[in-house]
Amino acid sequence: MIAEIEYLLARYTGIKMFIFDDDIFTFDKAWLKEFTEKYRQVTNIGFVCNAHARIFDKETAQYLKNAGCRIVKFGLESGSDRVRRSVLHRYMSNRHIEEAFDIAHRFGSIRRLSL
């Protein structure tokens, strides 16, 4: 991914934001740590990414903030716990969602956005 970002930066001017629209962008914490460290070495352009509320923690938020993340999107699908579990098979509790939003908010430059 870093090579692709370098390719884009070398060929296009005026890039203002990168959007990593990958539902599992933050799942592998070792990969995320390595990516965010390299990203900051390549560019200071901000980015947007997706995260899962059930596994979003302070360490993940810190990696993202340090790399220049501006927005974290959480795909909640429904405000109803029953609908999320029974219909959509999205196994995150309201508590997971509240905690993820709280962590994102506490890391300042990361704005909360739910879809």
Supply the pLDDT for residue 27. Answer: 93
Whether 16 is in a domain gets the answer no
**What integer pLDDT is reported at residue 53 of this predicted model?**
85
**Which residue did the predictor score with more confidence, 10 or 81?**
10
pLDDT tens per residue across span 78-115: 677 777 777 776 777 778 877 888 888 887 645 545 44
Assess if residue 103 is contained within a domain: yes
With respect to residue 40, please indicate whether it lies within any of the assigned structural domains.
Answer: no
Write the CA distances from 113 to 39, 49, 108, integer angstroms.
23, 11, 13
Domain containing 67 equals: 28-33+45-115
Is 10 inside any structural domain?
Answer: no
> Does the residue 106 lie in any domain?
yes
> The whole model's pTM is what?
0.80
Residue of 90, 67, 72, 71 whose CA lies nearest to 80: 90
Gap between the Cα atoms of 88 and 81, Å rounded: 10
Distance CA 15, CA 12 (A): 7
- pLDDT for 64 equals 95
| Position 88 in a domain | yes
Counting the structural domains of the chain, the total is 1
Report pLDDT digits (tens) over 27-80: 999 999 999 999 999 999 999 999 988 889 999 999 999 999 998 988 777 677
Q: With contact defined as beta carbons under 8 Å apart, do 15 and 39 qualify?
A: no
Tell me if 11 is assigned to some domain.
no
Q: Is residue 2 part of a domain?
A: no
pLDDT of residue 84: 78
